[in-house]
Structure 1
Amino acid sequence: MKFTRRRPCSVLELAVRILQIHNFYKVPGGECGVVEAERRLLEEHGNTVLQFAVDSREIDSMPLLKQGLAFVQIPWNVGVARRLVSFVHKHRPDVVHVHNVFPLLSPSVYHALSRSGVSVVQTVHNYRFLCPNGLFYVKGKVCEACQEQSYWAAVKNCCVHESMITSALYASAVAWGWRSGTFSSCIDRYIALNSFSFGKLVAAGVPKDKVRVCGNFVSNFSEAPPAKQPYALYLGRLSAEKGLKTLLAAAGSVPELSLKLAGTGPLEADLRRAIGVPGMEHIELVGHVAGETKRRLIAEALCTAAPSECYENFPLSVVESLALGTPVIASRIGGLPELIEHGQTGLLFSPTDTESLAECLRRIVRRPTDTAAMAACALATARVRFSPQCHLDQLLGIYRDAMSHTERNAKAKGERTQQQSVAFRR
Structure 2
Amino acid sequence: MSVSKTPFTPGAQVAGWTVSLPPTPPEERRRIAFVVHKFPPESVGGTEIYTWGLARELAHAGHDVHIFYPTPNLLPGDERIQREGVYLWRVPLPDSRTHEDPVRQYWHTFRDTAFERAFSHFLAAVQPEIVHFQHVQGVSARLIDLAEGYTRIVTLHDYWYFCANSQLIRPDRTPCNGPSTGCMNCVDCATERADLNWMRALRPLVAVPFVYRNRYLRHVAEEVDLFIAPSSFLRDQYVRHDFPAERIAVLENGLDDRKLVQQATIPLPEPPARPHFGFLGSLAWQKGVHVLVEAFNRLGNNASLTIYGSEQTFPDYVAQLKRLARHPNIRFAGLLQPQQVGAALRQIDCLVVPSLWYENSPLVIQEAFGVGTPVVASRLGALTEKVEEGYTGRLFTAGDVGALAAVLGEIAAAPGCLREMSRMIRPAPVMAEHAARLLEIYAHIHENAFK
* TM-score category of the 2 structures, normalised to the smaller one: 0.7 to 0.9
Report deviation, 1:133.
Answer: 0.6
Report deviation, 1:57.
Answer: 6.3
State the distance in 2 between where 1:152 and 1:230 align: 47
For 1:259, the equivalent position in structure 2 comes to 305
* Shift in alpha-carbon separation, 1:159–1:203, aligned structure 2, 3 A: farther
For 2:35, the equivalent position in structure 1 comes to 21
- Cα RMSD, aligned residues only: 3.0
Answer yes or no: is 1:109 the counterpart of 2:152: no
Q: Point out where structure 1 has 5 or more consecutive residues left out of the alignment.
A: 1-5, 409-426
| TM, length-normalised to structure 1 | 0.82
Task: Tell me which moved more, 392-401 or 222-231.
Answer: 222-231
Q: What's the secondary structure of 1:147's corresponding residue?
A: coil
Map 1:289-304 to 2 at 5 A: 289-291=336-338, 293-304=340-351
State the distance in 2 between where 1:390 and 1:357 align: 35
Question: Larger RCO: Structure 1 or Structure 2 (Cα < 8 Å, ≥ 6 residues apart)?
Answer: 2
Q: What's the secondary structure of 2:153's corresponding residue?
A: strand
Report deviation, 1:212.
Answer: 1.0
Structure possessing the higher radius of gyration over alpha carbons: 1
Map 1:230-379 to 2 at 5 A: 230-255=275-300, 256-264=302-310, 265-266=313-314, 267-275=317-325, 277=326, 280-291=327-338, 293-378=340-425
Q: Point out where structure 2 has 5 or more consecutive residues left out of the alignment.
A: 1-20, 75-90, 200-205
State the distance in 1 between where 2:95 and 2:292 align: 43
Map 1:54-69 to 2 at 5 A: 54-55=70-71, 62=94, 64=96, 68=100
Answer yes or no: is 1:390 the counterpart of 2:422: no
1:132–1:160 contact (8 Å) kept in structure 2:
no
Measured against aligned partners, the alpha-carbon deviations of 1:25-53 in whole angstroms (never above 9, x if no partner) come to 67531211111111111112222111222
Correspondent of 2:123 among 62, 67, 88:
88
The code of the aligned residue for 1:31 comes to T
* Shift in alpha-carbon separation, 1:64–1:300, aligned structure 2, 3 A: closer
The code of the aligned residue for 2:450 comes to E
Report deviation, 1:61.
Answer: 7.8
| TM, length-normalised to structure 2 | 0.78
The code of the aligned residue for 2:304 comes to S
* Shift in alpha-carbon separation, 1:170–1:373, aligned structure 2, 3 A: farther
Higher helix share: 1
The code of the aligned residue for 1:43 comes to A
State the distance in 2 between where 1:120 and 1:338 align: 28
Report deviation, 1:149.
Answer: 2.8
Aligned length: 389
Measured against aligned partners, the alpha-carbon deviations of 1:244-303 in whole angstroms (never above 9, x if no partner) come to 22212221222211111111343210011111x4xx112121121225543322112110
State the distance in 2 between where 1:17 and 1:160 align: 44
